[in-house]
Structure formats: C-alpha cells, structure tokens
Chain A
Amino acid sequence: GAGVSQSPSNKVTEKGKDVELRCDPISGHTALYWYRQSLGQGLEFLIYFQGNSAPDKSGLPSDRFSAERTGGSVSTLTIQRTQQEDSAVYLCASSLVTAVGETQYFGPGTRLLVL
C-alpha cells in the first residue's frame, strides 16, 4: 500500500513569509508525528497527534509553529513569519497505534529553505 506522503518536497521562501507543509499518513494510522532534521540539531520531535488531538506539542520551538489534523488523516504544519533558522527538512511519520514499541513510518520529508 501507499506510504506516508508529504508535500511539497521542496520549498524555498523568503524570511517573514508563512509556509504550510502537508502530510498524508498511511491509511488507518491513528498516530501522526512531525519531526525536524537540521544540521545543527539532528532529528527533533515537534508534535504528535492521536486522532485529531495533539496530546504532545512540547517540541514546537516557538508560537510561530502550529499544526492541525483533520478527519484523523491529513495534517498541516504551519510556520508563520519564517526565519532563516527554520531551514531544515520537516519529516512526518505515522503509526497504527501508540502502543509500546509501535513502528513509526516516515515520509520523504519537505526540505524548507528560508532565504
């Protein structure tokens, strides 16, 4: 079946603009995660959804970052007033449930460059 998909694959924007990143999880997966991969910080957790609710937003770096999930499926990560330090690869992952040891399946990522 189809894996996790993300769009766009690449995004170049100017400092101060808003961007939206989209994630389509594997069908039937109830848990969805956003991570960020950058040279200086490695792989960092941003936010986690169980269904449409986000019980853990502890990784969001500032109030410029927000995310939502609708219909228990697609999720959008929004970065407002982008800064150069937001440049990174944004990864989405999904898992069937949130059981101990459940495998997270990752999408190909969105590479964001803020000029």
Chain B
Amino acid sequence: GNSVTQMEGPVTLSEEAFLTINCTYTATGYPSLFWYVQYPGEGLQLLLKATKADDKGSNKGFEATYRKETTSFHLEKGSVQVSDSAVYFCALSEGTGRRALTFGSGTRLQVQP
C-alpha cells in the first residue's frame, strides 16, 4: 500500500534560518505529491504540489522537487519567518485508481524571533 514518512517534529528554528523537512514515500505507479500546511487554528491549505518526476513545486518561498529515484519530496525554504510556524503535511495521491490523499504524520515547525 501507499505510505508517506516525514521527519519527526517539532522543528525549532530561529528567524531567517534555512528549513528542510524530509519526506519519503512508497506508492504504486506514479503518484502526485503535495505539501499541505495547517496554521494554528486554521484548516489544511495546499502549499505546493508536483505531479511528475523532476517537477519542482514552489509557493511563498517554499520549494520541493519530486525525486523518483530517491522517492522523496523534501520541503525547503531559504529563510523562515515567525509566520511560517505551522504543521506541515506531506501527502500523495495515486496516479491511477484511488484519488484519496495519503498523508504523513505531520511536522510541527516553530520559528522563534
């Protein structure tokens, strides 16, 4: 079956530090990959996505590249802000058949001023 593995949190960084949140996956076929973010008190929002190998998704300074050879989709940001404090979820959906998202366990990011 499908699965997504994310690094355990919380991740605590100082403002302007570099962020990496690791995500690896197991899937049949050719999945699409997503990062969703959940800010405190808010619902899940799509942050970025990639639908095929070597695609790079980007949004709000965050980037992630779909690496088929390493089955990874690591999230990066060059300079985090306090407002980036949230829980980040890596997810996949299969290329065929089931469209439901399979989520990782989430990584809480805390950015200190």
Contacts and interface: CB of A to CB of B under 8 A. Distances in A.
Q: Are both chains from one complex?
A: yes
B102 interface: yes
Contacts of B69: none
A59 interface: yes
Interface string B75-113: 000000000000001010101101111111110000000
Interface string A46-64: 0010000000101100000
Contact of A100 (B51, B102, B104): B51
A109 B41 CA distance: 11
A104 B42 CA distance: 16
Contact of A101 (B43, B51, B103, B106): B51
A77 interface: no
Contacts, number: 55
A109 B98 contact: no
B32 interface: yes
Contacts of B98: 48, 56, 58
B74 to A, nearest CB: 19
Given A45-B100, A101-B49, A103-B46, 12 more contacts: A33-B101, A42-B104, A42-B105, A43-B103, A48-B99, A100-B95, A101-B93, A102-B99, A106-B36, A106-B45, A107-B43, A108-B42
28 contacts: A33-B99, A33-B100, A42-B103, A42-B104, A42-B105, A43-B89, A45-B100, A45-B101, A48-B98, A48-B99, A48-B100, A56-B99, A91-B43, A91-B44, A93-B101, A100-B51, A100-B93, A100-B96, A101-B32, A101-B93, A103-B49, A104-B46, A105-B46, A106-B36, A106-B44, A106-B45, A107-B43, A108-B42
Interface of B: 32, 34, 36, 42-46, 49, 51, 89, 91, 93, 95-96, 98-106
